[in-house]
Homo-oligomer: A and B are copies of this chain.
Amino acid sequence: MSGSKCTRLSGALVKQVLESVDSVLFDCDGVIWRGDQAIPGAAEVINLLKKNGKKVFFVTNNSSKTRKMYADKMTTLGFSVTEDEVFGTAYCSAMYLKTVCKLEGKVYLIGSNAMKQELEAVGIQQTGVGPDHISGKQIDWANVPLDPEVKAVVVGFDEHFSYMKLNRALQYLTQQGCLFVGTNRDTRLPLEGGKAVPGTGCLLQAVETAAQRQAQTVGKPNHFMFDCVASQFGVDRERCLMVGDRLDTDIMLGSNCGLKTLLTLTGVSTVADAEAHQKSGCAERQGMVPDYYVESIADLLPALQG
């Protein structure tokens, strides 16, 4: 195989690369689907990879769905997937708090109903989700009643994010020993037509600025998401391929964990972005250069069918 990076994956090289791996990790949005529509051919690729004996996993920074919600969506779109193959940041944050932090106490949660469910599934209590509107004056905000059992603040995507939630997070985080965990740092959620809405990174940045502390983040490019998969399924990182559409999260995760990396052009990043990183001469940016790229993961189909 060639030692150069950012090679177009086509022809005989596809089969060669697929034969060199036992496991394939896929990002979801921009890779196997866009919004509510499957990428054409993606379901067939996933199903054939599994038929050919590959382990397939899904790793997504999106914290707004449980593993079950992802598996249900995938099934609807024609993917043959089970819940335990899905690693979203709602689930992985709960696992991080339980297995790495060994949290004994409640979570003050800025996040979704899915995060609440994943925390509960591993036996961690939390303070509830939904709107938290403001009332009273500054001095009331500073003295807002705190739950004495709370030992961690967790920030994920929360459409009900508000000044009051930011304030509560600050009050908890100034207490001795309070843990601070974020699901991910994605600053925008890209939508069709070049549109976008604010991502969890914006909310996390606000809380970090208030608390004058950095959160530990669980999502890509942090290696924890891979560790989570590897510890449950015994993945050999030298025989594992990470497939994603974002250089700063997906490809960086692959580089951080020593995996082979494949950029697919159905989402956020372009080959020009990757080449700019490659030419930068900056060591950190080399981690954002994929080994290979494809127009779409459907480009893997001929090799799998043949």
Residues of A within 8 A of B (CB): 35, 131, 133-134, 138-139, 141-143, 158-164, 166-167, 170, 174, 187-189, 191-192, 195-199, 201-203, 205-207, 209-210, 212
Question: A210 touching B188 by the CB < 8 A rule?
Answer: yes
Closest residue of B by beta carbon distance from A138 = B197
Q: A196 and B170: CB pair below 8 A?
A: yes
Kindly report which residue of chain B lies nearest to residue A131, judged by CB atoms.
B133
Tell whether A161 pairs with B158 under 8 Å between CB atoms, given A138-B191, A195-B143.
no
Residues of B with C-beta under 8 A to A162:
160-163
CB proximity of A103 to chain B, nearest CB, Å: 24
Given the interface pairs A159-B134, A160-B163, the reply to whether A142 lies near B202 with Cβ below 8 Å is no
Write out the residue numbers on chain B whose beta carbons fall within 8 Å of the beta carbon of A143: 195
Identical chains bound together, number: 2
With A134-B159, A167-B198, A170-B188 given, name 19 new contacts (CB 8 A). A35-B139, A138-B191, A139-B195, A141-B159, A141-B197, A142-B195, A142-B196, A142-B197, A143-B195, A159-B163, A160-B163, A162-B163, A166-B198, A170-B196, A170-B198, A174-B196, A198-B206, A198-B210, A202-B207
Minimum Cβ distance to chain B for residue A211 (Å): 9
Indicate which residue in B133, B170, B205, B207 contacts A197 across the interface (CB closer than 8 Å): B170
Contact B202 A166 (CB under 8 A): yes
A197: B residues at CB distance < 8 A: 138, 141-142, 167, 170
* Docked CA distance A134–B133 (Å): 12
In the assembled complex, which residues on chain B have CB atoms less than 8 Å from the CB atom of A35? Answer: 139
**Residues of B close to A170: CB separation below 8 A:** 188, 196-198
Cα-based distance from A282 to B170 in the complex (angstroms): 30
